[in-house]
């Protein structure tokens, strides 16, 4: 079974631009979660989508948004990029996204650098 894929793997943008990252979950998984990983803050939860609906959201500004398509693929968008948005963005998929056995499987991440 193919794992979680993320595209692109690397991105370089300048301040003020916007960016869209893509995530394809494991086949059959309907929940997709997004995380931001930085050396200072570690892994921080951004949001989760299930059946095209956002069910949960972390403490990030409204510049961070996402969506999920009917095939469970997900995208996240960051508008008006700031230097502090430079990070590894990870998506993770799981079967249902809830409960004790909320086992999440991560993609390789997209490394975003904002200049």
- Contact residues for other proteins (CB under 8 A)? 4, 31-33, 35, 42-45, 47-50, 55-56, 58, 90, 92, 94, 97-109, 111
Q: Is 30 exposed, middle or buried (0-12, 13-18, 19+ CB in 10 A)?
A: middle
Sheet holding 19-24, edge to edge: 5-7, 19-24, 74-78, 64-68
* SS3 state of residue 31: strand
Question: Which is closer to other proteins, CB of 76 or CB of 92?
Answer: 92
Question: Which is closer to other proteins, CB of 79 or CB of 108?
Answer: 108
Minimum CB separation from other proteins for residue 42, in Å? 5
Q: Are 30 and 95 spatial neighbours (Cβ–Cβ below 8 Å)?
A: yes
Q: Are 53 and 97 spatial neighbours (Cβ–Cβ below 8 Å)?
A: no
Minimum CB separation from other proteins for residue 83, in Å? 21
Question: Which is closer to other proteins, CB of 76 or CB of 109?
Answer: 109
Minimum CB separation from other proteins for residue 16, in Å? 27
């Amino acid at each position: 079974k193919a794992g979680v894929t993320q595209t692109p793997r690397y991105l370089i943008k300048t301040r003020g631009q916007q960016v869209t990252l893509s995530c394809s979950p494991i086949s059959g998984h309907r929940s997709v979660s997004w995380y931001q990983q930085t050396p200072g803050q570690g892994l921080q939860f951004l949001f989760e989508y299930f059946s095209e609906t956002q069910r949960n959201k972390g403490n990030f500004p409204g510049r961070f948004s996402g969506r999920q398509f009917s095939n469970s693929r997900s995208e996240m968008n960051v508008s008006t990029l700031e230097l502090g948005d430079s990070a590894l963005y990870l998506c993770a998929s799981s079967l249902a996204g809830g409960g004790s056995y909320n086992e999440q499987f991560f993609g390789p991440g997209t490394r975003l650098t904002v200049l």
